[in-house]
């Protein structure tokens, strides 16, 4: 009987492991903006530095950038990284899933920086699947008391960004303010799939 029991346990463990859904990436800190890397030769890479122009720390391939942020910015032809600081034409970016950061130079038209206020305006967004439900509320004004709950899966068009809030339109007649990042500065939203392919 022991071999039979052992076999059953192994089957349960095996199928249990296969059935477990992959965990969603942790919502990243928003930083100060976004850098867009124009789609070019896939062998092209970014040179990273520990300090602007001083200590080279490695390279980042385009394919690695896509794997890092495609769940947030969509599968479009361009690549995106979150920017946490800026010094002249140098940008400090999040460069891996562990949240490590490095500097890169905005030295060509292939690398374009936009602060969040500019990047989000006109985009169609949705709440991230792992965003806390308490933020799925619509407000008449930024931070104006208790908001009205609404469908979290609704795509929303950003009209205006003000600090941690953005004014959005969705459905046929609904509009209002939502938080696009939480109190800790982590993102609550990402680009809607149909908008990611044409983000600029």
Give domain 119-196's CATH architecture. Roll (2.30)
Q: Distance between CA atoms of 126 and 121, rounded to whole angstroms?
A: 14
pLDDT reported for residue 196: 52
- Cβ distance 51 to 103 under 8 Å? yes
Give the residue with greater pLDDT, 195 vs 13: 195
Choosing among 2.30.30, 2.40.50, 3.30.70, 1.10.3470, the CATH entry for 33-116 is 2.30.30
Out of 27-36, 46-55, 110-119, least confident range: 46-55
Q: What is the pLDDT of residues 124-167, one digit of tens each?
A: 999 998 999 999 988 989 976 777 887 777 899 999 999 999 99
Structure token pair of residue 23: 């965990």
- Tell me the whole-structure pTM to 2 decimals: 0.78
Task: Provide Rg for the chain, Cα atoms.
Answer: 20
| Residue 40: predicted pLDDT | 64
CATH 2.30.30 in the chain: give the residue spans. 33-116, 119-196
């Amino acid at each position: 009987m022991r071999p039979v029991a052992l076999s059953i346990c192994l089957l349960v463990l095996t199928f249990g492991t296969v059935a477990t859904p992959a965990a969603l990436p942790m919502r990243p800190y928003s930083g100060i903006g976004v850098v867009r890397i124009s789609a070019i030769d896939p062998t092209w890479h970014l040179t990273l530095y520990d300090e602007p122009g001083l200590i080279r720390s490695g390279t980042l391939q385009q394919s690695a950038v896509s794997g890092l942020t495609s769940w947030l910015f969509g599968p479009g032809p361009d690549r995106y990284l979150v920017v946490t600081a800026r010094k002249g034409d140098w940008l400090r970016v999040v460069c891996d899933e562990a949240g490590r950061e490095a500097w890169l130079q905005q030295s060509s038209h292939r690398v374009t920086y936009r602060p969040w206020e500019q990047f989000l305006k006109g985009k169609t967004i949705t709440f991230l699947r792992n965003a806390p439900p308490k933020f799925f509320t619509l407000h008449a004004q930024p931070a104006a008391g208790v908001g009205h709950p609404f469908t979290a899966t609704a795509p929303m068009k950003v009209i205006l960004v003000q600090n941690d809030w953005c004014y959005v339109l969705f459905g046929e007649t609904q509009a209002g303010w939502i938080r696009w990042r939480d109190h800790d500065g982590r993102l609550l939203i990402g680009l809607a799939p149909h908008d990611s392919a044409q983000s600029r």
